[in-house]
Amino acid sequence: MNQADFVWMNGELVAFEDAKVHVLTHALHYGTGVFEGVRAYETPDGNPAIFRHSDHLDRLFQSARLYYMDIPFSKEELRAATHETITRNGLKSCYIRPLVFRGAGPMGLFPLDCPVEVSIAVWEWGSYLGDEGKQNGVRAKVSSWRRIGDDALIPAAKATGQYLNSVLAKIEADKAGYEEAILLDTHGYVCEGTGENLFIVKDGKIATPTYLSGVLGGINRAAAIQISRDLGFELQERQVARDELYLADEIFMTGTAAELTPVREVDDRPVGAGEPGEITRSVQRVFEDALHGRAERYADWNDVVPVPAPTP
Ligand SMILES: Cc1ncc(COP(=O)(O)O)c(C=O)c1O
């Protein structure tokens, strides 16, 4: 991880080394935080642009609301703070991590008397599942851990404590020699990866698990759905059975960190021909163009960060 110079904390930029919290921070003890993973990409005119920024800010505020947190900044203020954090760190493309968390205050499970704090960190970060994985596909394993159900937590919220679920699945997959885990929902239907939504392709048709399976409402999922349909593919949001993973012609995953990554093997069975298929490739091409501000059709997905002119 390439360290940036500044982190935005509660309204101001502080030096990386000073971006600290107290050990009694409520969120450290009980996972009472919500966050986003966002990316900015260098566009053809040289400016960075944040991919679907307003959707990420909407989801951040939605997650906060689901956990009774009032964010002490407006969306517009956080948008401007993100722009400033990117430009002051001199970055053209980066990963962006806004975090809203319960700070130090009264201990115990009742959190509402603890302050709500906000930070935005940025850093240069390659694709989560690797460039090689993006190119040739990754090997995945169906996890023994099920995705959290909505009778225990809130799958639609991107809350820090909830990620222990993904952490367990990720470690299990890694120790077994796979790049990624696929979690089933509480009923045994396919849900998603540890940090990605999942799509299968069979006989030219695309399907992706629905909210009924407890997926996180992925912003890249929405982008991939729209791109697939715009390319003329039939795409269904529906429950996906486990055996469909083994019989799929193609599988791919989407997420801010992983971008669009094909899956070439599930549980030691090759997906289709064991390499990314044609439909995956065609969606991936347009998706990459959209991320980098090269797709005119999706230009309004890019929140351009104005880079100040150099001082003479
Ligand atoms: C559990 C989980 N599912 C899906 C996603 C994909 O969401 P997005 O495309 O908004 O990054 C993420 C990443 O944020 C995630 O953590």
Q: Report the separation in Å between the CA atom of 309 and the middle of ligand 1, taken as the mean of its atom positions.
A: 35
Share of the chain above pLDDT 70, in %: 99
pLDDT of 130 > 90? The answer is: no
Catalogue the active-site residues. 158
Cα angle, residue 2 at apex, residues 308 and 63 outer, rounded to 5°: 80
Q: Are the CB atoms for 222 and 260 separated by under 8 Å?
A: no
Q: Are the CB atoms for 296 and 264 separated by under 8 Å?
A: no
Q: Report the separation in Å between the CA atom of 59 and the middle of ligand 1, taken as the mean of its atom positions.
A: 11
Mean pLDDT over 197-215 rounds to 97
Is 220 touching ligand 1 by the criterion CB < 6 Å?
yes
Mean pLDDT over 61-68 rounds to 98
Q: What pLDDT, on the 0 to 100 scale, is given for residue 36?
A: 98
To the nearest whole number, what is the mean pLDDT of the chain?
97
Quick: pLDDT tens for 84-129: 999 999 999 999 999 999 999 999 999 999 999 999 999 999 888 8
Residue linked to tokens 């929140």: 303
State pTM to two decimals.
Answer: 0.97
Q: What pLDDT, on the 0 to 100 scale, is given for residue 196?
A: 98
Mean pLDDT over 40-46 rounds to 96
Q: How far is 99 from 29, CA to CA, in rounded Å?
A: 16
Share of the chain above pLDDT 90, in %: 95
Q: Report the separation in Å between the CA atom of 107 and the middle of ligand 1, taken as the mean of its atom positions.
A: 30
Q: Which numbered atom of ligand 1 lies nearest the CA of 37?
A: 14
Q: What pLDDT, on the 0 to 100 scale, is given for residue 312?
A: 66
